């Protein structure tokens, strides 16, 4: 350990902040860290958030500890770059979120009556809407981040629209619209206009997300579960092929389909 490391503060957050400041120090810092800006770091921030979610899904608490540290580093990185531009620093970030939590929980930190979970969610959404309006929002859809994963953003946009009355009565009411969109996809497939086909596929997917939302599910979670199921069954197909002394990639589609059905029969869900 060199002198720079020995001179770091002992308190964990202060130590991490000092490390990032040194990494970004033109005098002896890290060339890669010095080359970064908000835009170049943003993809890493998103990736780290997904890795946190992945560790939680796998029940890996040791992994979660590490992934949360990686995500915290992203916050520290952005705050350091902002500090260099005299925009804000890490303390400003921490203060802002602390103030927001106190404001949004008057039943805990104020005189408001205790709330149920549903009551808290309703109050939270109302307060967020008021904050968006104070920030100049003019549409119910303002503030839904464009960088969200597409399925998640679709569901959020639909939820926002529903809050101002643009909503189906029941999930079943969406089915005719989905049928209509599927028909338009079929018609588009008979033509040679790939842009039109892409648009119709997007419309059908958007309506399907709406059906998922109205049925009380989360589109991202359902897609993740479907991906996991497909992965498990595909791995099972490959294992079955090896057990039969076959090369999976050399099998024709009919043979692969038979393996798929065998994998399903083994209740690999």
Query: How much is the pLDDT for 268?
Result: 52
Q: Is the pLDDT reported for residue 113 higher than 80?
A: no
Helix (H, G, I), strand (E, B) or coil at 46: helix
Say which DSSP state 10 is in: S
Label residue 233 by pLDDT band (50, 70, 90). very high
62, pLDDT greater than 70:
yes
pLDDT of 269 higher than 70: no
Does the pLDDT of residue 258 top 90, yes or no? yes
pLDDT value at position 266? Answer: 80
From CA 185, how far away is CA 179, in angstroms rounded?
Answer: 10
Look at 6-15, 26-35, 186-195 and tell me which has the smallest mean pLDDT. 6-15
**DSSP reduced 3-state for 9:** coil
Residue 119 pLDDT greater than 90, yes or no: no
Provide the pLDDT for residue 128. 75
Contact assessment for residue 31 and residue 37, using Cβ atoms and an 8 Å cutoff: no
As a whole number, mean pLDDT of residues 7-33 equals 94
Decide which of 180 and 148 is more confident.
180
| Burial class, 133, CB count within 10 angstroms (exposed 0-12 / middle 13-18 / buried 19+) | exposed
Distances (CA, A) of 165 to 86, 148, 240: 43, 24, 52
Mean pLDDT of all residues belonging to the chain: 91
Distance CA 57, CA 51 (A): 10
Structure tokens at 186: 């079929």
CA distance 50 to 53: 5
CA 43 to chain centroid, in Å, comes to 12
For 200-229, write each residue's pLDDT tens digit: 999 999 999 999 999 999 999 999 999 999
Predicted TM-score of the model (pTM): 0.69
pLDDT at 3 over 70: no
Buried b (16+ CB within 10 A) or exposed e, 13-49: eeebbebbebbbeeeeeeeebeebeeeeeeeebeebe
Q: Tokens 């979610």, residue? A: 53
> What are 122-178's pLDDT values in tens digits?
777 777 777 777 777 788 888 888 888 899 999 999 999 998 899 999 999 999 999
- pLDDT at site 127: 77
């Amino acid at each position: 350990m060199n002198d720079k490391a020995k001179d770091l503060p002992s308190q964990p957050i202060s130590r991490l902040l000092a490390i990032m400041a040194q990494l970004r120090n033109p005098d002896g810092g890290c060339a890669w860290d010095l080359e970064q800006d908000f835009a170049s770091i943003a993809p890493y921030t998103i990736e780290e958030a997904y890795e946190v979610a992945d560790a939680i899904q796998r029940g890996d608490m040791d992994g979660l500890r590490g992934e949360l540290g990686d995500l915290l580093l992203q916050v520290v990185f952005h705050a350091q770059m902002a500090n260099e531009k005299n925009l804000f620093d890490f303390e400003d970030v921490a203060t802002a979120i602390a103030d927001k939590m106190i404001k949004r929980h008057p039943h805990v930190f104020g005189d408001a009556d205790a709330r149920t979970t549903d009551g808290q969610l309703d109050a939270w959404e109302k307060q967020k809407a008021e904050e968006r309006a104070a920030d100049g929002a003019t549409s119910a859809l303002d503030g839904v981040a464009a960088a969200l994963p597409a399925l998640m953003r679709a569901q959020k946009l639909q939820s926002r629209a529903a809050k101002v009355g643009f909503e189906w009565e029941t999930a079943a009411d969406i089915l005719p619209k989905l049928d209509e969109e599927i028909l338009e996809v079929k018609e588009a497939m008979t033509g040679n206009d790939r842009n039109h086909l892409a648009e119709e596929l997007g419309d059908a997917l958007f309506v399907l997300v709406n059906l998922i939302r109205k049925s009380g599910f989360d589109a991202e979670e359902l897609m993740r579960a479907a991906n996991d199921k497909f992965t498990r069954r595909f791995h099972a197909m490959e294992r079955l092929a090896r057990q039969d002394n076959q090369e999976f990639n050399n099998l024709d589609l009919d043979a692969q389909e038979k393996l798929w059905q065998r994998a399903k029969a083994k209740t690999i869900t």
